[in-house]
Amino acid sequence: MMGKQEDRSSLQEQLDSAKESLHAVLDIGMSGHDAADAEEQLYEILQTLIDLFKADGAVLHLREGDNLTAFMALGAGEEAAQRFTVPIGQGFEGMIAETKNHLYVQDAQADPLVISPYVQRAGIHSMLGVPLLYGGEAIGVLHVDWRKTHLFSELELEILMVAAERCSSAIAVGRLCVLNLDMNRQASMYLDIIEHDIKNLNKVIIEDLDTVLSETTLDRDARDTIDAVKRDVEESETIVDNVRILHHTLSEDLPIESMDLDGLIEDAIKEVDWPQTKSVDIHYTPQMGRIVNGSTVLKDVFYTLMNNAIMCSRGDVALDIKVDKVHIDTQPYYTVSIIDNSQEIPDETRNELFTFHLGITQAHGKALPLFLVKLVLDRLGGDIRVESRVPGDYKQGSEFIITLPAIEAQVVPEPEPVYP
């Protein structure tokens, strides 16, 4: 009876140990956002395997064309990570990659399958390796090494295969991050080239148009036409600017800093286009100390909403801008309401306002397309919605409501000037 209890106790200990071992590998995070994170995760996996298996070393090889190159190694195999390369199908590592199956060598010092001179010099005897598979293809090999003879267990093999899956995921994430970074750099380069060439070309066009305008024989209609062409040429540069903002926003490269909300709104008001054919009244009362996480493009967001209200109106425009502080899920936010008496936006079209439609935009001048306004605010942790100024009657104007996370800041009054 005592023997059975001891056997059960021993079995339970083995099961507990197995669970701990699997959890140790599975608990390694796979949430990296760049190649450096992925490499750190690979390092952690190798170190975990050495500790679990009481091994002397662990090596990770990555496939490069028709070869395997040692990418990372810990312990007894560290020297190999700097120099060793083997063709697919040759040697211990190459055979694992070709067959996509695990392989075990009990005495690496005598087995002809082991061709790495670094294994010999490190005094490695037993080696257990598995392929790194991604999309059904071998992208590398992972093996654990012992200086003494080590007979592996099925549990160790299972853990090593799980670790290989984690490595494959980390490598895929790292490569995607590198690819994404390269694509972003290329996109930035193309934007720089396009911006440079368009601005240079526009400069020449504007100079030529100014030369034509200097002719005293031009009548009023001709001058108005040329002025309109100049505005169109200048507006073409805005297209490039908007594409750059879109690129930074989508690549999460939009610079974010603490900014004075009132200063952004007031600067936007100063830049609004004031048409000569209609009356425009903008009512806004600033207040010190309203700080948000923002970006210079946030001013363009406010400008866009104000300018759209003016340009889309059929007559005189009255704009009311109100800022309130609210709490959403205990977090402080500022709401900026831009209320007009002119824009008629039916309920059924509101959901489409902030959706990208190829070839369709109402943005003019420095104004941003509304889908880009939404993207920028999302990136800043905010939101935007539109309602009727008068509930139930969209013909009485519209209210655009922007929500932005507030930064609690103490207002420090400016010192009074001291006169002698």
Which of 199, 223, 211, 368 is closest to 300 using CA atoms?
Answer: 368
Mean pLDDT in residue range 288-297: 83
Higher pLDDT, 248 or 401: 401
| Of 382 and 275, more confident | 382
Residues 6+ apart with CB under 8 A from 27: none
> Contact at 8 Å (CB) between 323 and 334?
yes
| Distance of alpha carbon 69 from the chain centroid | 30
pLDDT of 16 reads 54
Distance separating alpha carbons of residues 338 and 333, to the nearest angstrom: 16
Contacts for 62 with CB less than 8 Å, ≥ 6 apart: 68, 69, 71, 132, 139, 140, 171
CA 375 to CA 134: how far, in whole Å?
33
Confidence of residue 32 (pLDDT cuts 50, 70, 90): very low
Q: Is 129 helix (H, G, I), strand (E, B) or coil?
A: strand
Percent of the chain at pLDDT > 90 equals: 24
Helix axes 154-213, 220-250, angle to 10 degrees: 170
Query: Tell me, what's the pLDDT at 375?
Result: 83
Give the residue, 303 or 360, on which the prediction is more confident: 303
For residues 186 and 202, the model is more confident at: 202
Cross-strand pairs, 140 = 62, 132
User: What is residue 111's predicted lDDT score, i.e. its pLDDT?
Assistant: 93
What is the arithmetic mean of pLDDT over 156-160? 89
Query: Side by side, which strands form the sheet with 85-87?
Result: 85-87, 67-75, 57-64, 137-146, 126-134, 103-105
pLDDT score for 401:
94
Tell me the torsion sign for CA atoms 299, 302, 307, 310: negative
Of 97-101, 105-109, 216-220, which range is least confident?
216-220
How does DSSP assign 243-261, residue by residue? HHHHHHHHTT----EEEEH
Closest CA to 84 of 104, 60, 103: 60
pLDDT at 3 > cutoff 60 = no
116-140 pLDDT, tens digit each: 888 888 899 999 999 999 878 899 9
Global pTM reads 0.47
Mean per-residue pLDDT for 96-113?
Answer: 94
Reported in sequence order, the residue ranges of 94-205 that DSSP labels E, i.e. its strands, are 103-105, 126-134, 137-146
Judged by DSSP in three states, 1 sits in: coil
Residue 391 burial class via C-beta count within 10 angstroms: exposed 0-12, middle 13-18, buried 19 and up: exposed
**Averaged pLDDT for residues 6-21:** 54
- Kind and range of the H or E element at 174? helix 154-213
Average pLDDT (245-260) is: 68
What pairing do the DSSP bridges indicate for beta strands 103-105 and 257-260? unpaired
Rounded to whole angstroms, the Cα distance separating 302 from 266 reads 9
Task: Give the list of residues 6+ apart from residue 220 with CB closer than 8 angstroms, or none.
Answer: none
pLDDT band (50, 70, 90) for residue 316: confident
> What is the C-alpha separation between 198 and 65, in angstroms, rounded?
41
Q: Provide the pLDDT for residue 247.
A: 59
Mean pLDDT of 341-365: 66
Question: CA–CA separation, 47 vs 410, rounded Å?
Answer: 48
Tokens standing for 36? 């450096």
pLDDT exceeds cutoff 90 at 414: no
* Cross-strand bridge partners of residue 142: 60, 130
